[in-house]
Amino acid sequence: MESIRQLYKIGLGPSSSHTMGPRKAALAFAAEAAGASSCTVTLFGSLAATGKGHLTDKAILDELQPLFPTEIVWKPDTVLPFHTNAMTFEAKFDDGRGPVSRTYYSVGGGDIVLDGEPRTPARSIYSMSRIKDIQQWCERTGKTYWEYVEETEGPEIWDYLAEVWRVMKAAVERGIEAEGVLPG
């Protein structure tokens, strides 16, 4: 099993594939597009169809707009072959360099895949993946499930999860107190 840190991530919501992934792609692209005079980001498929409501454009613009003028193009009816959550970034330069273009896929959980590169599975850090095996380990060692987690993740996992819980509660409180129309 992958780390609990992979399952519980803190980031922009409301959807990790529609906000965290696009933000991560924008950050990756920004490093390649340093010095660009402008940028166009084309959202495809599901990212374009529901991106306004998920604030996909805001997640991207928050990262790129401070660096160069950025335009978002919406193509909800175009689905790229690898994944429905696709986005293409294209930067133009005034200094004679040709444009730089990259297509990323937001594949879930805030993870991205660059077009043409293999999807790298999350590294498994747990030695056991079946509850039956973990239960037998607990019985054999006299330890509990949480101790298995701590032995695998390290004691700092509890501080991480406490922060995740704090952020979750704050998000719920903001949602309960907020009024208005949701975008999209």
Per DSSP, 88 falls in state E
Nearest Cα neighbor of 160 from 2, 3, 5 is 5
Beta carbons within 10 angstroms of residue 26's beta carbon: 25
Q: Please list the residues that pair with 85 across neighbouring strands.
A: 45
List the beta strands (DSSP E) in the chain.
38-44, 70-75, 85-92, 100-108, 111-114
Nearest Cα neighbor of 49 from 15, 26, 24 is 15
Model confidence over 6-27: pLDDT tens digits?
Answer: 888 888 777 888 899 999 999 9
Does the structure show a pLDDT above 80 at 121? no
pLDDT, position 76? 96
pLDDT, position 17? 86
Model confidence over 37-74: pLDDT tens digits?
Answer: 999 999 999 999 998 888 999 999 999 999 999 999 99
Question: For residues 89, 90, 93 and 96, what is the CA-based torsion angle, rounded to 10 degrees?
Answer: 140
* pTM > 0.75: yes or no: yes
Does the structure show a pLDDT above 70 at 145? yes
Q: Of all helices (H) and strands (E), which one includes residue 39?
A: strand 38-44
The full set of domains in the chain, from first to last, is 16-114 (3.30.1330.90), 126-177 (no CATH)
What would you measure as the largest C-alpha separation in the chain, in angstroms? 68
CA distance to 1, 60, 138, 161, per residue, from 143 (Å): 19, 45, 5, 20
Q: For strands 70-75 and 38-44, give the pairing.
A: parallel
Give CA–CA dist 35/91, Å, rounded: 9
